[in-house]
Amino acid sequence: MRFHWGSIPEAPGFHPEAGGWKPLREPSPWLAQLLALPIAIGVGLAAAAAWPFIAPSGISGGQPWALLAAILLLVPIHELVHVAFHPGFGASPSTVLGVWPAKALLYGHYCDELPRNRFLAILAAPLLFLTVVPMVLCAVLSVAPAAVVVFTVLNGVVTCVDLFGFGLVAAQVPGAAVVRNQGYRTWWRAPA
């Protein structure tokens, strides 16, 4: 894994135009965040609305330090979950964990090709493992710590761009194809 400060790095040896790759029709990072806003609102409201059913006896333990920790750790943990689904659990030299201040993004990026369905799993993993699974566990254990409630709802909101990207890839890329990023842009091709 490498760390990077700035825009998502480009792979120097990858020339998509020369290799039969097709560009994914996708908006700029700022426009993607704007278009994903309804998803953020919908998922956040759905997660918040589910908690009264998960914990009918109420939410417990709203210690300020735990709530603050849940908020501060959310985005780094979210990105590390993406990275955990990269080949080699993120230990590959093709994995980049970065900060792009100009776009207000922290990102986990993979610089090599991936099967389309693995790419989709990487996009969906934080919603599943940081919102759905904790909610199910709390329902099974009949607990609802305030920090977990805040974390799961905010993660639902944060996944909006991931879910927007999931929809773009699922709609445009055939199931057997491979996907690869060149910087921010996404490319795909039929398997060789």
Global pTM reads 0.91
Please provide residue 173's backbone torsions phi and psi, each rounded to the nearest 5 degrees: -110, 125
Please provide residue 160's backbone torsions phi and psi, each rounded to the nearest 5 degrees: -55, -45
- Cα(94)–Cα(83) distance, integer angstroms: 11
List residues bridging with 100 in a β-sheet: 105
| DSSP, res 17 | G
- Angle at CA of residue 83, ends 10 and 44, nearest 5°: 105
- Cα(115)–Cα(123) distance, integer angstroms: 13
From first to last of its 192 residues, the chain has per-residue pLDDT tens of 899 999 889 888 899 988 889 999 999 988 998 999 999 999 999 999 999 999 877 777 777 777 788 888 899 999 999 999 999 999 999 999 999 898 778 899 999 999 999 999 999 999 999 999 999 999 999 899 988 999 999 999 999 999 999 999 999 999 999 999 998 899 999 976
Question: Can you give the residue ranges of every domain in the chain?
Answer: 2-189
What pLDDT is attached to residue 81? 97
Q: Which of 175, 76, 167 is nearest to 126 (CA)?
A: 76
Q: Which of 143, 127, 158 is nearest to 33 (CA)?
A: 158
- Cα(32)–Cα(186) distance, integer angstroms: 13
What pLDDT is attached to residue 61? 75
What pLDDT is attached to residue 116? 97
- Angle at CA of residue 52, ends 71 and 164, nearest 5°: 55
DSSP class per residue in 76-108: HHHHHHHHHTSGGGGTSTTEEEEEEGGGTEEEE
